[in-house]
Amino acid sequence: MKLSVALFFAGLFGALAALFVLLSFGTDYWLLASETCDKETNGTMGHWAVAIEVRNTLSLPIYTTFYHEGFFWRCSFGGNLDDHTLLKFWISKCTHRIINPLPLPWELPDRMYTPGGGFWSIFMLIGVAAVVMGGFFIICGAPFASHRLYKAGGGLFLMSALFLLGVVGMSVLWMEVMDVVQVYVDHQRSSLCPTFDLTIHYGLSFFFAPVGISFCLLAGLLFLLIGRSVQMQYY
């Protein structure tokens, strides 16, 4: 009876872990950003951004460039907060994501950010692959009460949690600790707009990741305990 209850909760946590990890991986809302400038310009705010239109008058709204990005895509659009902004977040101009933490212009030495972005992508792929393989092992192990498959599945869930924790940690380091944001802002102020302002928020995809990590840890620990219990009971 206790084993059946443990299996139920472990399976539930494992399914939720896979769901939130895949949502975090597949949606392009890890980072939300907006750029504003209060002087008139016809340029672009970044090498992958759309052109913005800003006029220094009280009769016209100040236009802003909005961004959102994830593992696969980096999207941008121009508009203002009152002009169907939420709809534009879903219908926007998207390009393939370059492995960089921020949309740095070509003139900046962005090679220094590429290794970090590469590790971020590799950790993400390993975390997603581990949770998928862990679920596969658990499904295969359930009909045969195989303690080895239960333990292997639990270990993969824990490995997924570890790598995804690294993904979240690197994202926070880029945004909060490293000077990537300030370098980009300083470059835009010196080359394009002295009053340039950048606002960054973590998106929904980012918040899916810690939820998935929590469920991965719970599922992994439960499956390891189930594997040990099955081994002691039947072997």
Query: pLDDT tens for residues 18-70?
Result: 999 999 998 888 888 888 876 554 444 444 444 444 444 444 456 677 777 77
Number of domains forming the structure of the chain:
1
Are the CB atoms for 117 and 91 separated by under 8 Å? no
User: What pLDDT does 71 receive?
Assistant: 78
CB 10 within 8 A of CB 222: yes
92 three-state secondary structure? coil
Give 169's contacts (C-beta < 8 A, 6+ positions apart).
none
pLDDT recorded at residue 29: 83
pTM of the model: 0.76
Judge contact between 55 and 40, C-beta under 8 A: yes
Look at residue 103 and tell me whether its pLDDT is greater than 50. Answer: no
CATH number of the domain to which 102 belongs: 1.20.140.150
| Confidence at 206, pLDDT banded by 50, 70, 90 | very high
Residue 100 has pLDDT above 60, yes or no: no
Cα–Cα distance measured from residue 235 to residue 233, given in angstroms and rounded to the nearest whole number: 6
pLDDT of residue 166: 93
Higher local confidence (pLDDT), 34 or 116: 34
Mean pLDDT across 115-123: 75
> Distance from CA of residue 138 to its chain's centroid?
26
Q: Which residue has the higher pLDDT, 172 or 101?
A: 172
Q: What is the mean pLDDT of residues 121-147?
A: 87
Question: What are the beta bridge partners of residue 79?
Answer: 64
Give pLDDT tens digits for 174-205: 888 877 778 878 877 888 778 888 888 888 88
* Enclosing domain of residue 160: 2-234
Question: What CA–CA distance (Å, rounded) separates 89 from 107?
Answer: 28
pLDDT band at 215, cuts 50/70/90? very high
